A and B are shown apart, each in its own frame.
Chain A
Amino acid sequence: MDVSEMKNTVREFILAEFLPGESSANLKDDTPLRTSGVLDSMATLKLVSFVEDKFGIEVEAHEAGVENFDRISDIAALIASKKGA
């Protein structure tokens, strides 16, 4: 899976789970999610679990903060680095 597919997988999950009804065009790679309050800590936890299961990676608790989980592009970069892609 390349990075753009990773982004789309994460985007689809966020849209379905936390933003039902929003069009995928409006959820951009750099839309702030945590810092804007779109995802609170409970939602982030669900997202982290999804990412772990879907991509077969382990996200350490200290990696689940704003620096890696604020934007779809950051999340995809974390997944890619974990998978060595």
Chain B
Amino acid sequence: MSQQPVNSLVDYLEASAARFPGCPAVVGPDERELSYSELNSGADRVAAFLASRGVQPGDRVGLLLPKSVEAVTAVWGIMKARAAYVPIDWKSPAARARSILTDCDTRAVFADFSVLETAAGCEPARDTVIVLNAPAGAELPANAVRWEDAAGPSAHATATAPPSAAGRNRAELAYILYTSGSTGVPKGVMLSHANALSFVDWCSDEFQPHENDRFSNHAPFHFDLSVLDLYVPAKHGASVHLIDDETGKSPKHLAAFAERRKITIWYSTPSILHLLASLGNLRQGDYSSLRIVLFAGEVFPVKHLRELKNIWSWPVYYNLYGPTETNVCTFARIPDEIPEDRTEPYPIGWTCSHCRPIVLDAGQKPVAAGEEGMLYIAGESVFQGYWNRPEQQAAAFLTIEGERWYCTGDVVVEDPACGYIYVGRRDRMVKRRGFRIELDEIECGLYRHPRVREAAVVASTVGGEVKIAAYLSADGEPPGVLEMKMFCAKNLPSYMNPDMFVFLDALPRTSTNKVDYRGLAQRLEPAAAARTV
């Protein structure tokens, strides 16, 4: 590794391009491959094009792309332009995608042709849109340009040079990840190069990757698991293998992918690993390349973890924990043997070396080991703040002797033998398939339906799966379940669409006239349990 100070993730890419120019850097879902040298020069063209369109250091650039080598090239090119990339689920409802682009005031957007209207239709329409997969002859709006013309190998060199490496600064934003917001509007978590680098460097120490490693990339780029997938291999000259949406949710395809690509380091949510173990026919393939399995984003029910370990017995397994605001901040190595009678999930473990923890009670006093408290994290990986949300940002931090501690919102107990044990949350955030969901955001979505008078959303874990129920009252005739499901599909990401819609004459209230969420949750548990029998 270079002895120069590292000021940006881009420094790692450039070092690998110099050291391993012909080695594969990224392999797309369609098997197309870019070497380190190709990826680096493609990213240079993206950066030069963005600079020619007026993108300045510190600007934001949106990303509405399917998994592809171009998407990875765009990410690196945006960072080379010293702008921050803003990845958005390209299949999310158009209104949600636009609200994010507008919120963070993007200067340019990379978009798949199928969602061009979403990207180009922002008001004011001053963003440059770089369009991927535009059919030959398709007419594009005036502010749009084809990927090939902007960044393809034959793109014309522009007169504007991208920012030089000399100006790179660890404090600059690398990306903004939008997560579910309790006000009904997603909020942007701002992460700097320093934040990402501290995590990448910790991964290097802990997992000892080398240039022959082949990393899977299951997570979409708007999900923080992708940070490990994209940047740890780049630091070590290893390759990352992109999994597209359809393969990602098809256990048989996914299993075939892991075998064909000879993945050595797998990283995904437990939900996906469970799908692989239960429906992927894993006993029939050759997965002997696999050496590390990482999981994060939600609790892995021990029964499911044991099922997987019984098939893939040789890799080392790690439970990684951390909110988007810190990325991974605690980790636990799973023992080789899981006792047959163990039912409780494995702990989230001890803090990573680049983070520091404290656990405080409601009065913000430290608690002793064995007592429940809220986990706070400090250190170089802690995010910069929420874009344009000063109040939420202020509420997220506790300042102790001049240092900012991020309140994770997660309640934990310290067990001196094995680290922190995750207990739950005291607010209305849940995780489903690894995605963070503010139940209030679903409620806001439901209120957009013209006949919904009241909406209360509760969640419950049944059989290791999070079930979400919407309790509603209507003005006039209540809409049917089918209608509500379709309505939510148009207004919310699919992982937020409730499992159940129940119309009541009026929502139950507590003595202080608040919605009785506890009562509704109790109603949900037996109902949801009955459905999964």
Alpha-carbon gap, A26 to B479, bound state (A): 11
CB-CB contacts below 8 Å: B489-508 with A? 489-490, 494-495, 497, 499-502
Residues B250 and A64 in contact, CB atoms below 8 Å apart: yes
Whose C-beta in chain A lies nearest to the C-beta of B485? A38
Residues A21 and B502 in contact, CB atoms below 8 Å apart: yes
Residues A21 and B481 in contact, CB atoms below 8 Å apart: yes
CB-CB contacts below 8 Å: A50-68 with B? 61, 64-65
A interface residues, tally (CB under 8 Å):
22
Residues B481 and A22 in contact, CB atoms below 8 Å apart: yes
Main DSSP-derived SS at the B contact region: helix
Contact code string A33-77 (vs B, CB < 8 Å = 1, else 0): 000111011100100010000000000010011000000000000
CB-CB contacts below 8 Å: B443-493 with A? 480-482, 485-486, 488-490
Question: In the complex, which of the residues A22, A38, A42 contacts B433, with contact meaning CB atoms closer than 8 Å?
Answer: A42
Please indicate the chain B residues that have their CB under 8 angstroms from the CB of A31 in the complex: 482
Confirm or deny: B531 has a beta carbon within 8 angstroms of a beta carbon on chain A: yes
Please indicate the chain B residues that have their CB under 8 angstroms from the CB of A20 in the complex: 481, 499-500, 527, 531
Given contacts A20-B500, A21-B500, A22-B480, contact A38 B249 (CB under 8 A): no
Whose C-beta in chain A lies nearest to the C-beta of B250? A61
Confirm or deny: A16 has a beta carbon within 8 angstroms of a beta carbon on chain B: yes
- A-B interface pairs (CB < 8 A), number: 59
Question: In the complex, which of the residues A23, A26, A45, A65 contacts B279, with contact meaning CB atoms closer than 8 Å?
Answer: A45
Confirm or deny: A27 has a beta carbon within 8 angstroms of a beta carbon on chain B: yes
Whose C-beta in chain A lies nearest to the C-beta of B279? A49
Residues A40 and B480 in contact, CB atoms below 8 Å apart: no
A34 to chain B, nearest CB (A): 10
Residues A19 and B245 in contact, CB atoms below 8 Å apart: no
Please indicate the chain B residues that have their CB under 8 angstroms from the CB of A40 in the complex: 489, 494-495, 497
Whose C-beta in chain A lies nearest to the C-beta of B245? A41
Residues B480 and A37 in contact, CB atoms below 8 Å apart: no
Please indicate the chain B residues that have their CB under 8 angstroms from the CB of A18 in the complex: 485, 499
Confirm or deny: B6 has a beta carbon within 8 angstroms of a beta carbon on chain A: no
Question: In the complex, which of the residues A19, A49, A64 contacts B481, with contact meaning CB atoms closer than 8 Å?
Answer: A19
Alpha-carbon gap, A35 to B485, bound state (A): 12
Alpha-carbon gap, A37 to B497, bound state (A): 9
Contact code string B267-283 (vs A, CB < 8 Å = 1, else 0): 00000000100010000
Residues B249 and A45 in contact, CB atoms below 8 Å apart: yes
Alpha-carbon gap, A22 to B484, bound state (A): 10
Alpha-carbon gap, A26 to B527, bound state (A): 22
Sampled A-B contacts (24; CB under 8 Å): A18-B499, A20-B499, A20-B527, A21-B500, A22-B480, A22-B481, A23-B480, A26-B482, A37-B486, A37-B488, A37-B490, A37-B494, A38-B482, A38-B486, A38-B489, A40-B489, A40-B497, A41-B245, A41-B246, A41-B249, A42-B249, A45-B250, A61-B252, A65-B246
Chain B contact residues, CB within 8 Å of chain A: 245-246, 249-253, 275, 279, 433, 480-482, 485-486, 488-490, 494-495, 497, 499-502, 527, 531
